[in-house]
Structure 1
Amino acid sequence: MSIKFKAQAKRNPQDITLPEKYYAAAIADGEVDLDILAEQIAYECTVTESDCHAVLLSLERNIIHSLKQGRIVKLGRLGNFQVGLSSSGVDTIEAVNASLITKARILFRPGKRLRQLLTGLTYKKAS
């Protein structure tokens, strides 16, 4: 199996007057949703597909709930989820407040096995 990629033109964000350069960009080759994951998990163990689906939905709800409370969600070998923030900078520590926050995002730090997946990948240019 190989990861498909295509050439993608991008401008330099520091100097948009420079000519575009081309970079390799990964192309998604389909998707897997909760229904498919539940079916695959059920096939590999004695739990029913509907039970797997219920557990995955509950996992999603609980991850969201914990992230809203500012917690790090540790999923063992899978990895960790955490909320990250971007903000405007100010000159003093006293001037830092919530109004400076410009964006929130969800950070995912993959576990060791997921990180190791990246070392064994092969690539194929899409036609």
Structure 2
Amino acid sequence: MSIKFKTIERKNPQDRTLDAKYYAAVVANGSVDFETLAEMISEQSALSESDCLSLLNILEVNIIRELKQGRIVRLGKLGNFQISLSSKGFETEGEVSAEGITNTRILFRPAVKLRTMLKNLKFSRTT
């Protein structure tokens, strides 16, 4: 099995006057939702599908709750979630305030098993 990719043409965002170049881009092979994951987990365990769905929903709620508290959420062999931010630069430490925050995002740092999986992927070009 391999990950499909296509070729796309892009301009350099730092210098739009340069000629465009061609890059590889992953072609998504569908998606999977909570309900499907719950069904898959229930087939691989003694838990019912509704129990698995409840567990996934509770996990989502608690991840959000902990991130709002500024905590790193460690999910064992899966990886870690953490809030990150960008801010304006200021001349002095005293000038730094919440109003200077320009962007926020959630970082995901995969654990070793996921990072290793990335190294072993196979790719094939599609049209």
For residues 50 and 25 of structure 2, the distance between their equivalents in structure 1, rounded to whole angstroms, comes to 36
Displacement, 1:56?
0.1
Q: What's 1:100 paired with?
A: 100
Q: What's 2:35 paired with?
A: 35
Displacement, 1:65?
0.7
Q: What's 1:23 paired with?
A: 23
Unaligned runs of 5+ in 1: none
Q: TM-score, normalised by structure 1?
A: 0.96
1:86 aligned counterpart, secondary structure: strand
Percent identity, please.
54
Displacement, 1:4?
0.8
Aligned Cα root-mean-square deviation (Å) = 0.8
Unaligned runs of 5+ in 2: none
Q: What's 1:60 paired with?
A: 60
Q: TM-score, normalised by structure 2?
A: 0.96
Q: What's 1:3 paired with?
A: 3
1:104 aligned counterpart, secondary structure: strand
Q: What's 1:50 paired with?
A: 50
- Residue type matched to 2:50 in 1? S
- Residue type matched to 1:120 in 2? N
For residues 83 and 90 of structure 2, the distance between their equivalents in structure 1, rounded to whole angstroms, comes to 21
Q: What's 1:69 paired with?
A: 69
